Every structure is written in C-alpha cells, then in structure tokens.
C-alpha cells in the first residue's frame, strides 16, 4: 500500500518496519508486569461518523465501591495493546482496585499508524480534525453505564502524541480529569487556559531527540507528522498547569545524578511536578522500549508507579 508523505512521517516517527531513526520508534511491544489477573474486554462505539475502539481492564471482584479510572493513550503510530504492554498499568488493576482503559486513535490505514488529534500533532487525526476529545467523553459515558465509576477520580496519561493529547484532554474534557500525567510530551505555547485546575505530574527524558528538553522540532523525518509549530521546552508544561491552578509560575528544582525534579509553589490541594530523567530518551521511564531500535527507558523512576501514587493523592471534585 502506498503511504502518503504524512503517513510515512508517522511511520518514521513511530516504527513500522520501515527504515527508522532509532529514537522515534513506536512505544510498547513486550509485557513487563503481566495482566494482573484483570477482567479484559475490547469495546467499540460510534462517534463522529467513525467506529472507535478501546480496551477495558477492570478488577474481577468489584463489589459496590466506585472505582477510579486511568485512561492510557498510546503514542502516535501505536495502539491500545502497545500502550498496555509498554506502561504495565494493567498490573495495578487488581492490586489497586482501578479501571485501566486503553483507547485507540485513528488512521487512514485501518488499525495501523493510529494517531491522536492533539492540535499541532499528529498525522491523520490532526489532518482530519478528528474529534478525539468527544470520543473520550463518549467512552467515559459508556464506561459509567457499565461500571461504578468514581467521577472524582478520573485520570489521564499518555506517551508522546498521547501525552500531547493528555494535555488537550486536561483542558477540554467534559469529564474533568482530577490529574494528568503526560510522558515525553509537550505544549506549544498557544493553548487556551483550562476551565479549571488540574493536578499534573510530567515526565520527560533529557536524552529525548524527538521532544527536545529545550524545545524545538526534534530530529528525524517523524517531525513531519506535526504541523510545523515547534514544541516549547519541557518546563513550560509545568508552568502552563501551575498558572491554571493559581500556583506560582517560577519553579524550584532539585538535582541528583539521575534526574531533575521540578516543583511549582502551589496552595494546599494543587500540585504540579516535572521529572526530567537524565538516562531517558523517547521512552516510558521504567517501562519497555518501543522496539529493538527504540530508546532504552530510563531506570531512575518507574513512571507508572510514581504517577499512580500522585493520582491517589489528588482526587478531584467530579462534574
């Protein structure tokens, strides 16, 4: 099948068996923590004239308690299975009593090279202004009909293009997330303020050639999957959410041999943090590399465990 230039760029960005820049491979190929014994199932729904799909992992013994939800968004060119294997969030389902949801993006190639419309990125979803915010809202409505969902504890995380989409959902999602955790993502500097404050813990790698720590378009043809607007420096993500929460916009940092930890001064109940990992490239910290050519994940922190602890500490107020 002939690929368009934009599709080729996404392929180069995320790894499909073509000739690839090693830092731009798809995320998540091998299981790390296992499935944790979770109840499994793929769901579909119609939204915006498209059939959309998502995978749900829920505790087998649910009882009457309302459960928190973690939405995990794959990177551009990946899919729900990649996101699940790369992050290992499913292993927390039974242990922590949460529902993990792995939605799929869209593509001109069926279930290949899936992307999210994060505004300035990426590929098919961006080019076709796919309503991914509306899809995630509809998915949460469907989830609430099937499970006892705690509306105060809806959390969103994602990798790369999925991290950029995480920022967008934090701003626009009707089911207001209590907290978000973008991983190797970015903001672009023209985002409108969100309707309300959202707690944020952010992860980036100082070895990331795709989303450089100091901003700008990354190396490799994969950047053609974007619309040309350069990402802002890593720290600007935290400043954006700090300003929205009424926090101070000048962060403080602590540094050791493995990472730089940034925090913004916030009143009680609000929190914004950024981990810049010195040994991490374009990969999920503590997780799995995207492929044999993908960046090796850093080992300084386990992003999945750190963000879940952050999520638990920051329930929201619901709708």
Q: 145, 166, 156: which is closest to 240 by C-alpha?
A: 166
Sign of the Cα torsion 227, 235, 204, 304 reads negative
* Per-residue pLDDT of the chain in tens (319 residues, 90 and over written 9): 444 445 444 544 543 322 233 333 333 323 344 455 566 799 999 999 999 999 999 998 878 899 999 999 999 999 999 999 999 999 999 999 999 999 999 999 988 899 999 999 999 999 999 999 999 999 999 999 999 999 999 999 999 999 999 999 999 998 889 999 999 999 999 999 998 889 999 999 999 999 999 999 887 656 667 788 999 999 999 999 999 999 999 999 999 999 999 999 998 778 999 999 999 999 999 998 766 777 889 999 999 999 999 999 999 865 5
What is the phi-psi region of residue 118: left when phi exceeds 0, alpha when psi lies from -120 to 50, beta otherwise?
alpha
CA distance 102 to 115: 13
Strands 67-73 and 50-58, sheet pairing: unpaired
Q: What pTM does this model have?
A: 0.89
Q: Which of 95, 156, 113 is nearest to 12 (CA)?
A: 113
CATH superfamily of 5-313: Alpha/Beta hydrolase fold, catalytic domain (3.40.50.1820)
Alpha helix stretches (DSSP H) within 211-302: 234-244
- The DSSP letter of residue 175 is S
Tell me how far apart the alpha carbons of residues 280 and 40 are, in angstroms, rounded to a whole number.
31
Ranges of each domain in the chain? 5-313
- DSSP label at residue 215: -
Give the tokens for residue 12: 């180069």
Coil, helix or strand for 130? coil
Cβ count near 96 (within 10 Å): 17
């Amino acid at each position: 099948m002939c690929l368009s230039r934009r599709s080729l760029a996404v392929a180069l960005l995320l790894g499909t068996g073509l000739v690839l820049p090693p830092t731009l491979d798809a995320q998540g190929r091998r299981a790390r923590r296992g499935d944790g014994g979770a109840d499994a199932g793929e769901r579909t729904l119609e939204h915006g004239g498209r059939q959309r799909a998502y995978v749900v992992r829920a505790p087998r013994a649910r009882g009457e308690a309302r459960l928190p939800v973690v939405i995990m968004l794959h990177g551009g060119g990946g899919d729900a299975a990649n996101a699940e294997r790369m992050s290992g969030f499913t292993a927390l389902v039974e242990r922590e009593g949460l529902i993990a949801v792995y939605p799929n993006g869209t593509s001109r190639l069926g279930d290949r090279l899936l992307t999210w419309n994060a505004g300035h990125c990426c590929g098919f979803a961006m080019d076709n202004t796919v309503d991914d915010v509306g899809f995630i809202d509809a998915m949460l409505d469907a989830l609430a009909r099937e499970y006892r969902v705690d509306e105060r504890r809806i959390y969103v995380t994602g990798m790369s293009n999925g991290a950029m989409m995480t920022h967008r959902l934090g701003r626009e999602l009707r089911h207001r997330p209590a907290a978000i955790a973008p991983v190797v993502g970015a903001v672009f500097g023209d985002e409108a303020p969100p309707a309300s404050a959202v707690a944020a813990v952010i992860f980036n790698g100082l070895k990331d050639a795709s989303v450089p720590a100091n901003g700008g378009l990354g190396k490799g043809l994969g950047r053609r999957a974007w619309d040309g607007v350069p990402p802002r420096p890593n720290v600007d993500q935290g400043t954006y959410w700090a300003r929205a929460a009424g926090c101070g916009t000048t962060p403080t940092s602590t540094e050791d041999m493995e990472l730089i930890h940034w925090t913004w001064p916030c009143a009680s109940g609000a929190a914004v943090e950024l981990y810049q990992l010195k040994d991490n490239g374009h990969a999920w910290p503590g997780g799995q590399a995207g492929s044999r050519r993908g960046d090796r994940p850093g080992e300084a922190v386990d992003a999945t465990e750190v963000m879940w602890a952050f999520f638990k500490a920051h329930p929201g107020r619901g709708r």
